[in-house]
């Protein structure tokens, strides 16, 4: 099938490359010429596993790049809209890019097309897109608008696309549903998975994935409700972690105990310094705004956001309580990205914490496997970058772990201890076992678990004379 994908940002680029891998002919449309030139020249603008392979495989063949939206619409049976929907001041999604794309699409509709929302958009967007295309004079029989939300996580987006838990298509006509079913048939019928050149199957893959057909409004809500629910799970466990700290319980044990209930599930119950990124913060806020506008006061979501912000402050208090004053202290920081496996620092809790510590007068030396260039653009001075975790720890008063990169969970602890001025680790992602760290000679602070100290170290040295 011939498909146009509008917007070569994160979602559009991954979707375009994956549709090409399923065997479709894809035109990726963007009005940013420098982006198009970079893509045509083989550059990969985002840090995403398997994306370089897919782009190399299909660039110039099944995947072409264009700035001519009208022509791409004319040539395609389905047009996926994957342009940005940034938050406005009041937390709503700004849909002006979606609107202008909808208007332009109408110019290329000469025979039946399905226009598919792929960006995360609030409920009613498909109705608006339909109205805009109609207002531009398009024959109502020549198009349908559908919603096909994505559930891609940064870092594993290609795998998430090709091995999804489910495919949701929100269609208000059988004709549009048939086209979307056909597009995803290589996945739902399993032919993709039998190919020798398929992207490697992850653990826990649902093969073949189910396709869930709903109304377009339900599909729009499924996307917002999924992200809000996952954010709620994270805030819930962070709140439980705070109770654990007050009563001296261990949140990891609590997570194990509740997560093994299949109704609850273990995933997305990792406590830490809160969720960040370009999706959860924006989507929880947008869903809150959508609910308010529709007449429902979704206060639960306010609390989800509040707990998330508080989690960063709690971590800062933990740093202060471990080190007392922060002015002039040398701190090593591991992790700047909003999560492991990505170079993305948007709404990163790690960046928030680093900026707060700089403000308090600490000297930070940070290391991140991928996010240092972006951080340097954002914070051009006042922060030193290291070439390795050990260099970040060198001579530091304490080491802070702020992102859950896998490599940070497997550090050479002996070497780390030798590099640090004081063997103090404040771990915002619970990557290590508390007792084990004490046995390795560290004073170790984490989230939702009692601090642990090496044998023979008087607790009085650390927290107001009391063991934390």
Binding site for ligand UGA (CB under 6 A): 120, 150-154, 227, 230, 234, 268-270, 272, 275-277, 279-280, 283, 338-339, 404
- 387: tokens are 């070439």
Distance CA 18, CA 360 (A): 46
Measured from the CB atom, the residue of 152 and 451 that comes closer to ligand UGA is 152
Q: In this structure, is the dihedral angle defined by the CA atoms of residues 267, 349, 90 and 171, taken in order, positive or negative?
A: negative
CB 234 to ligand UGA: min, Å: 4
CB 371 to ligand UGA: min, Å: 12
Distance CA 74, CA 20 (A): 19
Task: Give the H or E element holding residue 6.
Answer: strand 2-6
Is-catalytic flag, 171?
A: no
Q: Indicate the angle between helix axes 280-293 and 299-323, nearest 10 degrees.
A: 150
CB 204 to ligand UGA: min, Å: 14
- 92: tokens are 């709503």
| Burial status of residue 281 (CB atoms within 10 A of its CB: 0-12, 13-18, 19 or more) | buried
CB 20 to ligand UGA: min, Å: 20
Measured from the CB atom, the residue of 129 and 157 that comes closer to ligand UGA is 157
Measured from the CB atom, the residue of 144 and 150 that comes closer to ligand UGA is 150
In contact, 442 and 454? CB cutoff 8 Å? yes
In contact, 100 and 29? CB cutoff 8 Å? no
Distance CA 174, CA 172 (A): 7
Write down the catalytic residue from 18, 171, 244, 279: 279
In contact, 113 and 143? CB cutoff 8 Å? yes
CB 342 to ligand UGA: min, Å: 7
Measured from the CB atom, the residue of 153 and 421 that comes closer to ligand UGA is 153
Measured from the CB atom, the residue of 116 and 133 that comes closer to ligand UGA is 116
- 323: tokens are 């080190």
DSSP 204-250: T--SSPPEEEE-HHHHHHHHHHHHHHHHHHHHHHHHHHHHHHHHT--
Distance CA 143, CA 107 (A): 12
CB 339 to ligand UGA: min, Å: 4
Measured from the CB atom, the residue of 225 and 379 that comes closer to ligand UGA is 225
Active site residues: 279
């Amino acid at each position: 099938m011939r498909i146009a994908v509008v917007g070569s940002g994160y979602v559009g680029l991954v979707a375009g490359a994956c549709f090409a891998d399923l065997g479709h002919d894809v035109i990726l449309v963007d009005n940013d010429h420098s982006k198009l030139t970079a893509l045509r020249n083989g550059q990969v603008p985002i840090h995403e596993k398997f994306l370089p392979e897919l782009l190399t495989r299909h660039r110039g063949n099944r995947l072409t790049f264009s700035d001519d939206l009208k022509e791409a619409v004319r040539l395609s049976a389905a047009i996926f809209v994957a342009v940005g929907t940034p938050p406005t001041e009041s937390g709503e999604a700004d849909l002006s890019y979606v609107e202008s794309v909808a208007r332009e699409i109408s110019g290329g509709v000469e025979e039946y097309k399905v226009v598919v929302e792929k960006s995360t958009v609030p409920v009613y967007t498909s109705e608006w897109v339909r109205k805009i295309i109609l207002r531009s004079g398009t024959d109502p029989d020549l198009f349908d608008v559908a919603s096909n939300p994505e559930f891609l996580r940064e870092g594993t987006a290609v795998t998430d696309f090709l091995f999804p838990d489910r495919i949701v298509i929100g269609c208000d006509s059988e004709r549009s549903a048939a086209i979307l079913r056909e597009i995803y048939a290589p996945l739902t019928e399993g032919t993709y998975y039998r190919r020798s050149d398929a992207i490697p199957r992850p653990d826990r893959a649902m093969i073949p994935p189910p396709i869930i057909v709903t109304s377009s409004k339900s599909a729009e809500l499924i996307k917002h409700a999924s992200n809000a629910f996952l954010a709620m799970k994270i805030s819930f466990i962070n709140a439980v972690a705070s109770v654990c700290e007050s009563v001296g319980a261990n949140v990891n044990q609590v997570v194990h105990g509740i997560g093994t209930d299949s109704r609850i599930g273990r995933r997305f119950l990792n406590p830490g310094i809160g969720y960040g990124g370009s999706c959860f913060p924006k989507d929880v806020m947008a869903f809150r705004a959508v609910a308010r506008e529709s007449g429902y006061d979704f206060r639960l979501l306010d609390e989800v956001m509040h707990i998330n912000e508080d989690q960063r402050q709690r971590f800062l208090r933990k740093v202060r309580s471990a080190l007392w004053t922060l002015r002039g202290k040398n701190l090593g920081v591991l992790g700047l990205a909003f999560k492991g496996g990505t170079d993305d620092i948007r709404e990163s809790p790690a960046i928030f914490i680093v900026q707060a510590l700089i403000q308090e007068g600490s000297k930070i030396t940070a290391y991140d496997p991928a996010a240092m260039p972006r951080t340097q653009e954002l914070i051009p001075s006042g922060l030193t970058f290291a070439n390795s975790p050990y260099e970040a720890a060198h001579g530091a008063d304490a080491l802070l772990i702020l992102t859950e990169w896998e490599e940070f969970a497997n550090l050479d602890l002996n070497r780390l201890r030798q590099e640090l001025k004081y063997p103090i680790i404040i771990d915002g992602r619970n990557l290590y076992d508390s007792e084990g760290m004490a046995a390795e000679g560290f004073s170790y602070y984490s989230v939702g678990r009692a601090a642990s100290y090496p044998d023979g170290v008087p607790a009085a040295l650390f927290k107001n004379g009391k063991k934390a």
